Structure 1
Amino acid sequence: MSEGMLICCGSLTLDNVLTADGRALPQSWGGNVLYSAAAARLWHDNVGIVSRIGHDYPAEVAERFVERGIDVSGLVPVDAPHGMNVAFSYRPDGSRVRKFPSEAVDLIPEADRARFIDYTTFGTEHRFATWMAFAPEGSDIPVSWRDRGLGLHCAAMPVERHISIARAMRPARKSGAWIQVDSPWYDERDLTRDYSADLFALIDALLPSEADLEIVAGSGSLAHQIDGMLASGLKRVVVKRGGEGCTLHTRGETDSHIPIYPSQVIDLTGAGDAFCGGFLAGMIMTGNPVEASHYGTVSASFAIEGVGISRLLKTTADEAQQRLAQYRDSIKVLPQT
C-alpha cells in the first residue's frame, strides 16, 4: 500500500430516488463523500473518508467501505439521529428536484411516501442547522492523515467547512497536497455575501456543475462567470455538464472539452461526486488535468450503472483500467500539458 493517501470530505445521507419513469427506488445509504471515495478507490489504494455520522446511520456503510479498503477512521460520531434524509425526483433531461410536485408524489407507493420527505424542504434555517451538524470541519481530519495527504476533495457542504478543511490541510502538508472543492454555492442565507472568495486562494481546482454555476451567474453568461473566477485568483475550473461531459478551464490555457463514456443509465445519483473522486485520483497519478478528467469520466460511468453506490463498490481496479483504455481509444485525445 502506498504511503500517501487521498482524503475525501463530505456528508453521509439516506437516499430516496424517484426515477424519470416513475420508479421509486429502495432507500439506500449514500452521500457525496461515499461516492467520491469509492470512485477514488478505483484508482488509488489508500483512500480515507472524513464525515460526521448520526447514531442511527446503518453500520453497514462502515463495514462495506472497510471491506473495499477505504479507511473510515475519519467518521466522527454525532450523538443524534442522522438528519440528512434526501429525496430526488429526476426529470427526463437528467436534472433533478428535491421537492416533488403532486403528480410525482402520486407515483410513489403510499407506504413509501414518508421517506420521500427531503430534509431541505423545511426551510433554510432547518436545512443549514442539519447540514452543519453533519458536515465535517478541519479538526475532524485525523492528525495522522494530514502529512500523508497527497490530495483532498471537499464535496458540496457549507463553504465555511470548505475553508476550515482547506486551512487545516495547507500548513500540515509536506509535499504540497492537491486540494479541490465541488461547489461552494449552496448558501442562500445571505445572497448578497460572497461566500466563495476566501476559498479560491486556498484550493487548486473547483469542480462545479453547470447548475451550480447558474446559481451565481445571474444574468451573465457562464463563460463570463468562469473568466471572472479565474481572474480573481482561482487556478482551474472543471465544469460538470451531465450528458455533455465536462469542460476544463485553466488560467492562461486553452479550454478543453471532455466527452462522456456511454453507459446504460440506471441511477444518476452520485455521478458528479464519482467524477470528482476519479478526477482527484487521476490528478495525483498523472499531474495532468485532462488525463484526470478521463479518470473522472470513467468513474462517473460506473456510478450510473447501478442503483445508488452499488455499482461503484462492485467495480474492480482491473475493470476501471480496461474501461479507461477503451475510453482513451474511443476519444483519440492525446494528453495535454
Structure 2
Amino acid sequence: MKNFYNVPSKPYGVTNVHRFKKVIYKGIYNNIDLVFFKPKDTLKPIEYNFIVRPGGKVSDIKMKFNGAKTSLKDNKIMMKVRFGEIQENIPLSWLLEGTSKKETAINFKQIDENVYGFIGKQDVYNKTLVIDPVPTPLWIKNLSNWVWHSEYGYYRVLANSNQEVYTSFTTIARYNIATSTYTVMDFDSQNYGYISKFDPSGNKIWGTYIGNHHNSGDETNVLKDIVINSNNDIYAVGYARDTQAGTNTITTPGAHKEHSSYVNQFYPSDNTDAFIVKLNDNGLKIWGTYFGGEHFDAINSLVLDSNEKFSIGGYYSR
C-alpha cells in the first residue's frame, strides 16, 4: 500500500493505494488482452505482453507513439527522447501449447506515422499467441552529481560519423578533481568546463576539464558550447577568470590573447574574459586563447561553415 500527498485537489492525500505486480486490460481488441507486469529481475523496467487468444487477429493491434519521433529500423522501433534513444524490441514471441512454449516469428510493421502493428506467418492462430515487445534504452550516462546553474552553462551532446558521442557541460569540482561528494559550494570548490567522449556503446573513452583554478568558485570557468569538425577536432567556447599568476591553463603560448585585459574595478582579481579552445579527438589541447576587448566578454555559441571556419556569438559589457 502507498499514500500520496502530492495531488493538488486532495489536501489530505490519497491513501491506501494498492500496489500491483500485474495489470490486465481484457478485450482491448476482439480476443486480445494487454498485460503490464513487473518482471522478477528488479533491474528491468515494467514489461508488457499482448495475449492473442484463438480467433484474435494480429493485424488488429495498433500502437501509436506520442511525444517522440520514431522510425522502424532492423525490426526495431527507434524512439528519440530527451535523455537519449530507446528502441522497442521483439526478443521473443511464442504459441502456448499446454505448459510448453513454441517460438514463432513476429515482426513490427509501420502502419502510419508513429503508428505500428505486428505481422507474423499468419494473422489468426488456433493457439494462444504471446507477443513480448521490450523497450530498451540504448544507453544512458549520469555524468555529474552537480552541474552548475543552467543559466551559466549549457549542455551539449554531439555525435560524429562513427556514432561516437561528445558531451559538454559545466560542473563543480575541487582542484581539478571530479568527486561525487559535493552538494553545496564551499571555499575550495569551483566550477570547470568538462568535455567527454564515448564510444557507440556508451563506454567512456576520455574526459577532460577546461579552466583555471581560482580562489573564488563562483562563475570561475563556464563552458557554453562545443562543435566538432570533419577531423573530429573539438572547438569549445565560454568564459573564464584569468589568474594572471602563471597558473593559466586555458591559453597556449603565442595565442591571439594569452591573458584577459579586463579588470573589474570593484574586484581587481576578477579579470574574466571569453575563451576559445581547440582539442584533438584524443582530448589533447591544440591551442587556446582568450578573446575580447577591454571589457567583460563571453562567447555563448559557435558554428562551422562549409569550409570549417567558425563564427562565434556572445556578448560584452561596458
Aligning the two structures, in what range does the TM-score lie when normalised by the shorter sequence?
under 0.3
TM-score (norm 2): 0.21
Greater per-residue strand proportion: 2
Name the structure, 1 or 2, with higher relative contact order (CA <8 Å, separation 6+). Answer: 1
TM-score (norm 1): 0.21
Greater per-residue helix proportion: 1
Which one has a bigger Cα radius of gyration? 2
